Chains A and B, each alone.
Chain A
Amino acid sequence: MSVRRVGILLGKEFSRGPRDFIFIFAIVAPLFISLVMTLVFGELFAEEPGLGILDRASSRVSDLAMQSPSVDGRRFDSVDSLKDAVESGTVDMGVVLPAGIDEMLRRGERTEVTAYVWGESLARNRTILTTVVDDIMREVAGHEAPVEIVTATLGDTESIPWNDRVLPLVVLMAVIFGGSMVPATSLVDERQKRTLTALVVTPTTLEDVFLAKGLLGVIISVVMGVLILAINQAFGTQPLMLLTVLAMGAVLAAEFGILLGTRMKDITTLFATVKAIGIFLYAPAIVYLFPQVPRWVGRIFPTYYIVQPVVEISQQGGRWPDIALELSILAGLITLLLVFLILNARRLKQQEA
């Protein structure tokens, strides 16, 4: 193996990369997916029901509704836009406040309020919204709460915000996609166009080619992993440790990509395989989405040993002893895959010969 030749091949991969769709896709997709996932899951599992308010007189009722932590308040400027928002489910309930409602409430005058309710709104959301609106109106009316409420929490389970739950999936996608798909497609392409055969009849060895393509995957994977963590403000306090984990994860992904690239006969088969096994690659991150699923389920999948240390470091301030076991297993998996790759390279050499 020649370091100089690997360097030249890697340089070629980088100069050709910006013209290759998968290369661009590996960079753009994680950023796009990060944005979409945060929005989608943030909205899908948002706890607060939506409350729309039409208030032409800037009443205190609407100000308090916007500040309420129990509802997601939005202001509207016409009955039509409010009704549209309710009908489409943008908000669960839309309330039209009459002019001078604050004064009417303070004076205890009879007040009529129209509320539009989205037909698909859950019963619990309707109850919460009605209660919150009533409570706000009581506050404006000057009613004095006849209770002192003392709250206490029971148990030791932790509330994990959805953004934190989604992060492992986004990080895993960035590391796995860039790390595996770039070398895999590049290798399949070279095999299909027979440029690989042309290359290995020169002094360049198959190992040089594998290493150059693997390094390309590792670099893209690490850069994207770092970028996603930085965008999500989840870099934690141990950047060096995090970089080590991301680099190891990227190596595993690149090895997997090269293995796919050597085993798949064409691009169609490669994409079909990725389509089918994708769920297994991202399964550990899906386990993080649902804390009800026992954590051992995630351990079955190799990519768990990439994502768990990342979560441990970035979200729980983990240190080396906390991630030692996972990193050891990850190192074992990297070695195992390397053995497969060496065996595979021998087989491919015979084929190319």
Chain B
Amino acid sequence: MNWRIVRVLVAKDLTLFFRNRYFALITGLAVFAYAGIYFAMPASVDEKLAIGLYAPQLPPVLEELQQEEGLTIEQAESEEALKDAVIEGRLEAGIILSAEAIQKLLGGQKARIELYFPSDAPDEFKEAIITLVRELAYLQSGQVLTVEVSEQVLGRDMLGNQIPPRDRMLPLFAVFIIMAETLGLASLISEEVEGRTVTALMVTPVNVRGFFAAKGVSGVGLAFLQAALLMAVTGGLNQQPVILLLALLLGACLATGVGFLMAALGKDLMSVMAWGIPVMLILSVPAFGVLLPGTVSDWIKVIPSYYLSDTVHLSANFGLGWDDVWQNLLILLGFNAVIISLGIAALRRKLQ
């Protein structure tokens, strides 16, 4: 294979791509649109229940409750201030504990407690807060539950250090960008096949290998650069940059292999573009599993892009290193070898 010719072909593809200013602008715009969505989303997770309390005197159990990790109890100066905070949405619920109610609770009598919710609070949330207040009353009245719960946290305990939804979305964005280039590459090849420029190329010193190498480098380069740019702009490369860049590179190779396959299977540019969308959607499914943990089962592991989105998620969001992701990278590499080989074989057959 003549690498000088490959270089010339890559330069030709990139020049054609960027010469079409409109196409180049649209591609850049898409990366920045994803980045824009990322920055528009909240950067932190508010994982505590914000509850307001107005009580002339704080019962001992409530003082203990303030230590509870899932609750923020804010004391209001007056009933009106408490209600205003609930209406304005600063508090998710407000509790009014009158002096009489506190006395009754302390004396073991049945007390009346007023609870205020914003009108858009869902019923299940209201029920949860009612249960919480009832539990407080049980504790205050001294009714002991003879149950000992031994808690065991499975997986890394992220309490106080939760991953914001925008960071969960990052693997999804990266996979989308990379897989969108599948369409780009497939259409590039399909255009050459339809326009018969590939036949013209084959009578020059360019051979089939050189053609694939050039298209592969162009496809991998474009997909990788866009995804890496998105990750860099959003701060996704702050942890484990080498692993992440390698994962994105392998993802770009996967997109290239799939692009070869689609270009070989599609009968014309239109069918390549049209069938590319469902393929892109299928390859994006594993990234939804990162966004919505627990919604996908183990079958998702048969989709090669699972190993890309999982690695991006683990390394970018948890900072996990080689020990934890090497298997993912190896499997991705294996998938790449198979898919690229199949793609090249199918496309070679089509070209011949």
Question: Which A residues are within 8 Å of any B CB, using their own CB?
Answer: 21-22, 25, 39-40, 43-44, 47-48, 50, 68-71, 83, 85-91, 104-105, 108-120, 122-128, 130-135, 137-138, 141, 143, 145-160, 185, 189, 192, 266-269, 271-273, 275-276, 279, 291
The distance in angstroms between the C-alpha atoms of A158 and B109, with both chains bound, is 37
Contacting A122 at CB < 8 Å: which of B45, B117, B138? B45
**B interface list, Cβ under 8 A from A:** 20, 22-23, 26-27, 29-30, 33, 45, 47-49, 68-71, 83, 86-87, 105, 108-128, 130-135, 137-138, 140-141, 143, 145-160, 162-163, 180, 183-184, 187, 191, 269-271, 273-275, 277-278, 288, 291-295
The residue in chain A whose Cβ has the minimal distance to the Cβ of B157 is: A119
* Residue in B22, B26, B105, B156 whose beta carbon sits within 8 Å of that of A119 in the complex: B156
B269 to chain A: which residues have CB within 8 Å? 192, 266-268
When distances are taken between beta carbons in the complex, the residues of chain A under 8 Å from B294 are: 50, 85, 88-91
Given contacts A117-B154, A134-B145, contact A147 B288 (CB under 8 A): no
A148 and B23 CA atoms in complex are apart in Å by: 66
Chain B residues lying within 8 Å of A269, measured Cβ to Cβ, are: 20, 22-23
CA distance A133 to B49 in the complex (A): 18
A117–chain B nearest beta-carbon distance, Å: 5
A275 to B22, CA, bound (A): 13
- Closest-by-CB residue of B relative to A156 is B119
Q: Which residue of B lies closest to A28 (CB)?
A: B278
Closest to B281 in A: A32
| Nearest A-chain residue to B23, judged by Cβ | A272
Which residues of A are found within 8 Å of B149, using beta-carbon distances? 113-115, 130, 133
A222, B68: Cα distance in complex, Å: 54
Q: Are B270 and A267 in contact (CB under 8 A)?
A: yes
* Chain B residues positioned under 8 Å from A90 (CB to CB): 293-295
Number of A-B contacts (CB under 8 A): 255
Chain B positions within 8 Å of A271 at CB level: 183, 273
User: Are the C-beta atoms of B292 and A44 separated by less than 8 Å?
Assistant: yes
Q: Return A23 CB to nearest CB of chain B, in Å.
A: 10
Check if A120 sits within 8 Å of B141, measured CB to CB: no
Chain B residues lying within 8 Å of A85, measured Cβ to Cβ, are 294
B69 and A126 within 8 A (CB): yes
Which 9 pairs between the two chains have the least Cβ-Cβ distance?
A127-B70, A89-B293, A21-B274, A119-B155, A90-B294, A123-B70, A89-B294, A70-B128, A122-B47
Selected A-B contacts with CB under 8 Å, 22 pairs = A22-B274, A40-B292, A69-B124, A70-B127, A91-B294, A111-B146, A111-B147, A117-B154, A120-B163, A126-B70, A135-B131, A146-B140, A147-B112, A149-B130, A149-B133, A151-B116, A154-B116, A155-B87, A155-B118, A269-B20, A272-B22, A272-B23
Contact indicator A150/B132 (Cβ below 8 Å) = no
Closest to B191 in A: A268
Closest approach, in angstroms, between the C-beta of A22 and any C-beta of chain B? 6
Which residue of chain A lies nearest to B70 when distances are taken between CB atoms in the complex? Answer: A127
Closest to B105 in A: A146
Chain B residues with CB under 8 Å of A39's CB are 295
Q: Is the CB of B116 within 8 A of A152?
A: yes
From B176, which residue of chain A is reached at the shortest CB distance?
A: A275
Residues of chain B contacted by A276 (CB below 8 angstroms):
26, 29-30, 33
**Chain B positions within 8 Å of A115 at CB level:** 149-152
A42–B97 CA distance with the chains assembled, in angstroms: 35
Given A88-B293, A146-B110, A155-B119, residue A21 in contact with residue B275 (CB < 8 A): yes
Chain B neighbourhood of A83, CB < 8 A:
154
Which partner residue on chain A sits nearest B36 by CB separation? A279
Distance in angstroms from A93 CB to nearest chain B CB is 9
Of listed B153, B277, B288, B294, residue having the most chain A CB within 10 A: B294
| B158 nearest in chain A by CB position | A120
Residues in A with CB closer than 8 Å to B115 are 149-152
Q: What distance in Å separates the Cβ of B238 from its nearest Cβ neighbour in chain A? A: 20
User: Which residues of chain A come closer than 8 Å to B71, judged between CB atoms?
Assistant: 124, 127
Residues in B neighbouring A273, C-beta threshold 8 A: 26
Q: Are B30 and A159 in contact (CB under 8 A)?
A: no
Whether B70 lies near A122 (C-beta < 8 A) is yes
Expressed in whole angstroms, the minimum distance between the Cβ of B124 and any Cβ of chain A is: 5
Nearest chain A residue, comparing its CB with the CB of B155: A119
User: Do the beta carbons of B148 and A275 come within 8 Å of each other?
Assistant: no
Bound: A50/B273 CA distance, A: 40
A59 to nearest B CB, angstroms?
A: 13
A280 to B187, CA, bound (A): 25
Q: Closest chain A residue to B277 by CB distance?
A: A25
Considering the complex, give the chain B residue whose CB is closest to the CB of A146. Answer: B141
Is the pair B69, A275 in contact by a Cβ cutoff of 8 Å? Answer: no
CA distance A113 to B146 in the complex (A): 11
Shortest Cβ distance from B84 into chain A, in angstroms? 9
Determine the residue in chain A with the shortest Cβ distance to B132: A131
Closest to B109 in A: A146
Given contacts A69-B127, A128-B49, 16 further A-B contacts (CB under 8 A): A69-B123, A70-B124, A70-B131, A71-B128, A90-B293, A111-B148, A113-B149, A116-B152, A119-B155, A123-B69, A127-B49, A128-B70, A135-B131, A148-B110, A151-B126, A154-B117
Contact A127 B68 (CB under 8 A): yes
Identify which of B114, B123, B137 contacts A145 (C-beta below 8 A): B137
Contact between A158 and B292, CB atoms less than 8 A apart:
no
- On chain A, the residues within 8 Å of B86 by CB distance are 154-155
Q: Are A154 and B109 in contact (CB under 8 A)?
A: no
C-alpha gap A127/B132 in the complex (Å): 9
Nearest to B180 among chain A residues (CB) is: A275
Could you tell me the distance in whole angstroms from the C-beta of B251 to the nearest C-beta in chain A? 19
Q: How far is the CB of A242 from chain B (nearest CB, A)?
A: 26
Partner of A153, one of B113, B118, B273: B118
How many Å from the CB of B324 to the closest CB on chain A? 15
Does A268 lie within 8 Å of B124, measured CB to CB? no
* Chain A residues in 8 Å Cβ range of B154: 83, 86-87, 116-119
